[in-house]
Amino acid sequence: MTPYPTVDAILEVLLSGVKEVLGNRFTGLYLYGSLSSGDFDPERSDIDFLVVTDGELPDEMLPSLAAMHERIAASRSPWARRLEGSYIPRESLRRYDPQHAFHPSIGVDWSFGVNGHGSDWIIQRHILREQGVVVAGPPPQSLIDPVSQDDLRRAVQDTLHGWWAEQLRNPVHLQPREYQAFAVLTMCRALFTLARGAIVSKPVAARWAKQALDPRWSGLIERALVWREEDGIDDLQETLEFIRYALEGKAP
């Protein structure tokens, strides 16, 4: 499934567990994010996955899924706590509908539960459709409608002026070094999409931004590309300035 045997091993455990719990409600398991773009970094990346279900999952099934994820998290796999994914019904996956955007999910920073999926899932649907890795199930192109360039740009603007504008007002999530780097690389990708109407990986967008944006951001972007957990750098103030710059929407 991937070039990484330990990743494949945890995916086999995940697939087996999901199938056991969902039974005939299971439609497919897919990878997106860095594992589908080719920019996966074993030292820093998470495993982004999507489970497609046949219909909405009944409430009584959710505790069994939560228990399955708890068992995986307690395992000895190096990826045990680096799974981040959602369970979306087939009929809801075809196109993003904010009126039907609450689905079970789990992340590195949150426990399994039903959570709202924002307009950034327009972008995730595009990535899944165009680059998604099939672990099991039908081709993602048969499940997701094409996403237009204008829709991608609107989704980026909505995300910038929603979640990211809130981070400027209350930057508590940006205190850790990891999230400063994540924010900088995400802003690079947002600006690339606004400029080109396309989605590329964060490293590709960062390399583009170093060439296309004002040179004053080059050092910040380079540090985000090579960050390590204990690098002793605090780029919080410059990161906030870069988010403000992206919110202005002045893509090259």
Confidence class for position 228, pLDDT limits 50, 70, 90: confident
**How far is Cα 142 from Cα 149, in angstroms, rounded to an integer?**
20
Residue range 135-173, pLDDT digits in tens: 999 999 999 999 999 999 999 999 999 999 999 999 999
Question: Phi and psi (nearest 5°) for 234?
Answer: -125, 105
Compute the 3-state secondary structure of the chain and give helix, strand, coil in percent, each to the nearest 5: 55, 15, 30
**What H or E segment, with its residue span, contains residue 5?**
helix 5-22
Whether residue 216 is predicted with pLDDT greater than 90 in this model: the reply is yes
Residue range 232-247, pLDDT digits in tens: 789 999 999 999 999 9
Question: Phi and psi (nearest 5°) for 175?
Answer: -65, -45
CATH superfamily of 5-142: Beta Polymerase, domain 2 (3.30.460.10)
Every domain of the chain with CATH number 3.30.460.10 lies at: 5-142
> Which amino acid, 12?
E
For position 229, what pLDDT does the model report? 65
Whether residue 63 is predicted with pLDDT greater than 70 in this model: the reply is yes
For position 233, what pLDDT does the model report? 84
Q: Which two tokens stand for residue 57?
A: 């999952």
For position 227, what pLDDT does the model report? 84
Mean pLDDT of the chain: 94
Short-list 100, 250, 107, 86, CA closest to 182: 107
Confidence class for position 101, pLDDT limits 50, 70, 90: very high
Asked whether 148 and 126 are in contact (CB, 8 A), the reply is no
Confidence class for position 251, pLDDT limits 50, 70, 90: low
